[in-house]
Amino acid sequence: MYICKTLTDNKKDIRNMSLEDLQTAFEAAGMPKFRGKQVYEWLWKKGAKDFNDMSNLPLDTRAWLNDHFCILSVSVYAQQSSTDGTIKMAFKLHDDAIVEGVLIPTPTRVTACVSSQVGCSLSCAFCATGFLKRQRNLEAAEIYDQVWLIDQMARKQFGMPLSNIVFMGMGEPLLNYNNVIAGIQKITQPDGLGMSPSRITVSTAGIAKMIKKLGDDGVKFNLALSLHAANNAKRSAIMPINDSNPLEDLSEALNYFYQKTKRKITLEYAVMNDTNDGSQEAKELIRFAKKIPCKVNLIEYNPIDLANFKGAETDKIAAFAEQIEHAGIIVNIRRSRGKDIDAACGQLANKL
């Protein structure tokens, strides 16, 4: 297998080329235009990582591709399996950087949790990834590769293809806006993986102007806000991004997003003991939730070594949920998956 690790002066990253670019390149080289579509399908429908695997291309065409282009692919570096079936995967990028993704199976569906950046710059106090330095954004093809590899693992381990994708791994998706959108396009387009955008959720810590841009761009996927506190002072204490994107700006942006897309927002709320789990915090969450079309997901908080936060007790979470539900707001309690292998929400920190 030919592995292309880096770009050189005479080689282009072929997955940065559109179908039209590929067709033009083949014509310029004196080869049939339809070869471009064949290569495009190998890259995005079949997930090819090696030109030599493109079996319907002549040998001299494959040699020409190897001479002029690179596939900077992602590989599985390591993996761990949880007692509940969850699989955490460490992905090695072409520059040896590592990101993590998670395969979360249930009897009826399989969800992929994928990353959008190497590390993170937001420094949320309760999140393991927030303690890592942000190195760079992921390319669209690297986002696609995570989904492809997790899908292959799902088929192998559980006999089912991926049914859902959540951008809740490492990094802030809206700080890598263009590549995340381009990656989702490759995942959803008919000549890519053909997944429904309605089964994709992008989670953000809350960047108001980019939430509005999602609305302007008319995206078809779902949006989730990592809220975790509905009081500006409390939220800023655990999520510094709130200083520049306070709750008032976020509620305006979320309403704008809904007006443009008609897609309800999910508010994610990790319930932490004696931090955000009291009756007063529930009232604040209710006030915020009533400003926007939404539902609330209460998430069992998963402790990390670098912070002193603890998860709320089960009965306290139940009481919190009951208070919200009594106010007429749809609320779900999300149980942690993969906690024993540091694969649960907020635990990704390249510890494999």
Question: ∠ CA(180), CA(184), CA(187), 5° rounding?
Answer: 140
Rounded to an integer, what distance in angstroms lies between the CA atom of residue 116 and that of residue 15?
17
Determine if residue 62 is left, alpha or beta; phi over 0 gives left, psi from -120 to 50 gives alpha, anything else beta: alpha
> What is the SS3 assignment for 341?
helix
Residue of 100, 139, 172, 268 marked active site: 100
Determine if residue 166 is left, alpha or beta; phi over 0 gives left, psi from -120 to 50 gives alpha, anything else beta: beta
Residue of 70, 113, 127, 345 marked active site: 345
* Structure tokens that stand for 291 in this block: 């400003």
Active site residue 120: no
Q: How many CA atoms lie within 13 A of 40 on its CB side?
A: 21
Active site residue 345: yes
Please report the DSSP string for 141-166 in residue order.
HHHHHHHHHHHHHHHHHHS----EEE
> What is the SS3 assignment for 104?
strand
Question: Would you call 30 exposed, middle or buried from its count of C-beta atoms within 10 A (0-12, 13-18, 19+)?
Answer: exposed
> Which residue has 């635990």 as its token pair?
347
* Structure tokens that stand for 276 in this block: 């955000």
Please state the length of the chain.
Answer: 352
Q: Give the residue numbers marked as catalytic.
A: 100, 345
